[in-house]
């Protein structure tokens, strides 16, 4: 069974596909970069990278295996003798694919595949934000909490005298207001008593004057 053995079939038979990848790998090794369709570039990448791995081994058996796949003696000798040095310090990832858009005519997706140079630093990897380490429970937070509670208690104690002073001031002002009201009421009462006494004094005088006037009228009538 060939379960999970699917690869880029490229719509052709196995023999045709092997010859196609051999020709593409020969051109890539010779020129360093080639322009082809995106599907062919993706199929070529694992094929040629396995050949480069054989070249890094450098044994006679590896050279014969590469010749059986690439089918071009000059390209294989060039890879094993010269170009393999640029891949010594690189563990895989010997090629790079650039997408070039669609081709005019059949709108096929085009790509550029190239061999990576030895001095190529590659793209800068985006650093993921580091997760914050979980804070370990220790004795210092407890001490800080106790200090905070002591400070809060001290602040509350200092606020109590101030509140008591404010309350005492309010009571004093209320007492003063009550005393002023009592004084005003007593003054009004004394004034009312004086007016009543004045009225009582004026009544006898008025009665006496009325009696005198009555006597005068009687005398005049007698005459």
Query: Under CATH, which number does the domain 14-115 receive?
Result: 3.90.1030.10
Provide the 10 A C-beta neighbour count for residue 74: 11
**60 in Cβ contact with 76 (< 8 Å):** no
Instruction: Find out whether 90 and 116 touch, Cβ atoms under 8 Å.
Output: yes
Tell which residue, 17, 20, 18, has the closest CA to residue 69: 18
Give pLDDT tens digits along the chain (223 positions): 878 877 788 999 999 999 999 999 999 999 999 999 999 999 999 999 999 999 999 999 999 999 999 999 999 999 999 999 999 988 889 999 999 999 999 999 999 999 998 878 776 767 777 777 666 655 455 555 666 666 666 666 655 556 666 666 777 777 677 767 767 677 777 777 777 666 666 555 555 566 666 666 655 555 4
Centre a 10 Å sphere on the Cβ of residue 20 and count the other Cβ atoms it contains: 17
What pTM does this model have?
Answer: 0.55
65 contacts: CB under 8 Å, gap ≥ 6: 54
Going by the DSSP 8-state scheme, the letter that residue 95 receives in this structure is E
Please tell me the distance from the alpha carbon of residue 128 to that of residue 134, in angstroms, as a whole number.
Answer: 18
**What DSSP state is assigned to residue 99?**
E
The residue length of the chain stands at 223
Tracing tokens 């650039």 back to the chain, one arrives at: 98
Residue 105 Cα distances to 56, 57, 102, 110, 189, angstroms: 41, 43, 9, 12, 119
């Amino acid at each position: 069974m060939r379960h999970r053995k699917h690869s880029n079939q490229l719509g052709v038979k196995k023999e045709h596909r092997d010859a196609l990848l051999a020709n593409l790998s020969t051109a890539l090794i010779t020129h360093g970069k080639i322009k082809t369709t995106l599907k062919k570039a993706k199929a070529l990448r694992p094929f040629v990278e396995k050949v480069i791995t054989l070249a890094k081994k450098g044994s006679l058996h590896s050279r014969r295996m590469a010749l059986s796949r690439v089918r071009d003696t000059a390209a294989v000798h060039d890879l094993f003798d010269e170009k393999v040095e640029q891949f010594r310090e690189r563990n895989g990832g010997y090629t790079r694919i650039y997408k070039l858009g669609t081709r005019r005519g059949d709108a096929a997706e085009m790509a550029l595949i190239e061999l990576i140079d030895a001095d190529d630093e590659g793209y800068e990897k985006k650093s993921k934000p580091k997760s914050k380490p979980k804070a370990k429970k220790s004795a210092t937070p407890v001490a800080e909490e106790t200090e905070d509670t002591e400070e809060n208690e001290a602040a509350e104690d200092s606020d109590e005298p101030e509140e008591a002073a404010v309350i005492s001031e309010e009571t004093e002002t209320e007492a003063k207001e009550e005393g002023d009201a009592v004084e005003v009421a007593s003054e009004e009462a004394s004034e009312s008593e004086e007016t009543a006494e004045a009225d009582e004094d004026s009544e006898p005088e008025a009665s006496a004057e009325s009696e005198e006037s009555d006597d005068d009228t009687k005398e005049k009538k007698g005459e």
